[in-house]
Amino acid sequence: MDSVNTIKQDIQNQRMVNHSSRILLSQSALEQNLSFIRKKVGSEAIISSVVKANAYGHGIETFVPMAEECGIRHFAVASSHEASEVLDARTTDAAVTIMGILYDDDLHWVIEHEVEFFVFDMPRLKKALEVAQAVDKKALIHLEVETGGNRTGLPEEKLDEALQFLKKHVEHLRFKGFCTHFAGIETLANQFRIARQQQKFDELYNRVEEFGHLPELRHSACSAAALAFPDTVMDMVRVGTAQYGMWPSPDIYNMHLKQTNKLKDSSMKQLLTWKTDVMHIKQIKKDEFIGYGTSYQAPKDMITAVVPIGYSNGFAKALSNLGYVLIKGKKAPIVGLINMNVFMVDITDIAGVQVGDVVVLIGQQGEEKITIRSFSEFTKFINNEFVSRLPTAIPRETVS
Ligand SMILES: *Cc1c(COP(=O)(O)O)cnc(C)c1O
């Protein structure tokens, strides 16, 4: 008994002590991004907020209520586990759709909790019926059809069978959606392929109409499609990247500028700020090496600050000797290698830095700003890859 209590105490104490960094999410930035997207897609289309990968690293638990505050009532994820996180986080009766992996033994939980899901093969559809009958609740199905992306998607030759099955078992299978996903619509060079996918989608939908058993919603658009290709917007759009304030690609940003006849647009705001604090300060003599190995040798007498973040915290090692952070509103360049949980920055030219001063890893401080995009340029990670790797353990917090 005693030992159980001791363990519980330990867990509680752990939660009261500090992590090495924190992530702040701006509610006003989210409102601005969603209203920008809303203007693009019109007032009718449902915006499904894509929160897979822990809300692209922003944190499902914190992000979901923020999105609900902005009127979002539909979320999309990649797995049952993520769906369960959304159910725990939501503060409304918002719907959740699983777009990816769904194990048979999770189907019971999924249907019981009225979680929607993509179906792209007959075995899943048949299993859904079986479980829906057992649970005595309707399975909420989005039929994802193959249009040329060749990832998931029901093959064209299975469409009639799937439609007949849906119609026959209408008491247990609700035909929520008919959808597809584009294979790289954010890149202009892919447009010939996207155009074929759109054409195929329309052709398949015509067959659904001829058959006469209609879905409630048709959807295909992701962020890039919703922002720059109005003819892809149907009853629902599935928006990830853009809601977090990231342009899906330079192509989409440039298309937007062209369409709106602007030279610059700051309608979308980065939600995320990532902060830590100076852990230690050191005087370095000219010609000394800094940190592991010999990758950085001081060209002059220097002062460095030690930052308690490393590659284990999602800060890419590729930023060694390349990236920078903000301290006292100024850029402090990274010197030496990024270690597992520490790196050093040059603060020689920043007056008065003290242990405990705030370090901005991503975000704004004074006039200076570090964008998620700037990381991608150094690391070759696309924006989404960088943010989605931010560890779930970092505490997230909502700010205005
Ligand atoms: C991730 C994903 C989206 C969202 O894509 P963004 O470009 O981030 O908006 C939409 N649909 C599917 C099927 C996805 O996997």
Among 11-15, 189-193, 214-218, 251-255, the range scoring the smallest mean pLDDT is 11-15
Residue 282, in any domain of the structure: yes
pLDDT at 384: 86
Check whether 286 has a pLDDT greater than 60: yes
Averaged pLDDT, 338-364: 97
Q: Which atom of ligand 1 is nearest to the CA of 239?
A: 9
- For ligand 1, the distance from its centroid to the CA atom of residue 249, given in whole angstroms, is 14
Averaged pLDDT, 315-330: 94
Averaged pLDDT, 14-22: 85
Residues with CB under 6 A from ligand 1: 50, 52, 99, 181, 222-224, 238-241, 248
Ligand 1 pocket mutation, candidates 54, 152, 181, criterion most atoms within 8 A of CB: 181
Active site residues: 52, 292
DSSP string, 176-245: EEEE---SSTTSGGGHHHHHHHHHHHHHHHHHHHHHT---SEEE---HHHHHH-GGG--SEEEESGGGGT
Check whether 68 has a pLDDT greater than 50: yes
Q: Which atom of ligand 1 is nearest to the CA of 384?
A: 8
Contact residues for 90 (Cβ-Cβ < 8 A; gap 6+): 64, 65, 68, 75, 96
Chain-centroid distance of CA 349 in Å reads 36
Query: Could you tell me if 248 and 317 lie in one domain?
Result: no
pLDDT at 120: 98
Averaged pLDDT, 9-38: 87
Q: Which atom of ligand 1 is nearest to the CA of 179?
A: 13
Q: What is the CATH number of the domain that holds 356?
A: 2.40.37.10
Check whether 6 has a pLDDT greater than 70: no
Residue 338, in any domain of the structure: yes
- For ligand 1, the distance from its centroid to the CA atom of residue 239, given in whole angstroms, is 6
Check whether 272 has a pLDDT greater than 80: yes
Confidence of residue 80 (pLDDT cuts 50, 70, 90): very high
- Per residue in 220-243, pLDDT (tens digit) is 999 999 999 999 999 999 999 999
Residue 132, in any domain of the structure: yes
- For ligand 1, the distance from its centroid to the CA atom of residue 78, given in whole angstroms, is 10
Averaged pLDDT, 312-341: 95
Domain termination site, one of 228, 260, 292: 260
This prediction has a pTM of 0.94
Cα distance between residue 6 and residue 382, in whole Å: 44
Among 100-104, 108-112, 178-182, 316-320, the range scoring the smallest mean pLDDT is 316-320
Query: Could you tell me if 250 and 331 lie in one domain?
Result: no
Query: Could you tell me if 201 and 350 lie in one domain?
Result: no
Domain residue limits at 249: 26-260
Check whether 72 has a pLDDT greater than 50: yes
Residue 217, in any domain of the structure: yes
pLDDT at 9: 57
Averaged pLDDT, 239-265: 94
